[in-house]
Amino acid sequence: MNNIVSMAWVKEHMGEPNVVIADCRFVLGKPDAGREAYEASHIPGAVYLDLEKDLSAPVDEHGGRHPLPDIFDLTVALSLAGIGNETKVVAYDDQGGAMASRLWWLLKYLGHEHVYVMDQGFAAWTSAGHPVTDEIAEPTPVKFLAIVEHTMLVEMDQVQELLGREGVTLIDSRETPRYRGEVEPIDRVAGHIPGAINRFWKDGLTVTGSWKVADEQAERFADLDKNRELIVYCGSGVTATPNVIALQEAGFTNVKLYAGSWSDWISYSENPVATGDEENA
């Protein structure tokens, strides 16, 4: 199995004792909307994991708008959701896979292998006539042991050191106008990290909202050298994670996430800011 599974696969395997379906719907600026949507209707048996309460730490001076959660707190949340080390986890959302990909990345970061994102999302699930319920799942807690994969992550000071270095490519996953610094609707400074190239994360989806297949993902990154170290970021470390998946699907193996991303970078006044386009590295 690759990182993306079909709705048909989810329908076939939901309810199996070793499969946990995780509803990750979340609306920026409306922190209760995702849980309310889950409580109204979700895939039968699905548990809810909240982007800001479960999959992020509280916002601080540094770390960005969605800091990585404390590892102990996250393992507790996963355990209470019925997720153990051998559990197959399928995450879904209604945001093009961005929130589900955050859970995918976190589980991979904690050494968990069997995690996938459901293609298309909940709206497509309901449109296809697949079953839904408002019954809240009550999973049996299990033990989750984290084996942290530190090489998947880079911190701000590492990005500073790598700026302009041969063999490293920074990939900004935000929309092009934000990358260029033409607009900035969320963060207090516009622009991008100097040297970064732009690959908008939603370009990994088809016009119908499905994930592009591996060959199509490879076309998006055809100008990049697979021998280079790739560091992916976005505004707060969430929408970069679909690009991490896309790069893996395209055959890239040396891919890391700058989890704090742009919102962390600009929290340090000494960090340089670039605008406009960059030549591909």
pLDDT value at residue 1: 54
Report, in angstroms and rounded to the nearest whole number, the Rg of the chain calculated over CA atoms: 18
Residue-range domains of the chain with CATH = 4-127 (3.40.250.10), 150-265 (3.40.250.10)
Active-site entry in 47, 99, 196, 234: 234
Nearest-CA neighbor of 42 among 115, 137, 107? 137
pLDDT value at residue 281: 43
Burial of 152 (0-12, 13-18, 19+ CB in 10 A): middle
pLDDT value at residue 136: 96
- Residue bearing tokens 């370009």: 203
Q: How many CB atoms lie within 10 A of CB 268?
A: 13
Q: Which residues of the chain are modeled with pLDDT < 70? A: 1, 279-281
Catalytic (active site) residue 234: yes
The two tokens of residue 149 are 């994969």
pLDDT value at residue 78: 98
Question: For residues 205 and 218, what is the distance between their CA atoms, to the nearest angstrom?
Answer: 13
- The amino acid sitting at 31 is P
pTM above 0.95, yes or no: yes
Question: For residues 66 and 98, what is the distance between their CA atoms, to the nearest angstrom?
Answer: 13
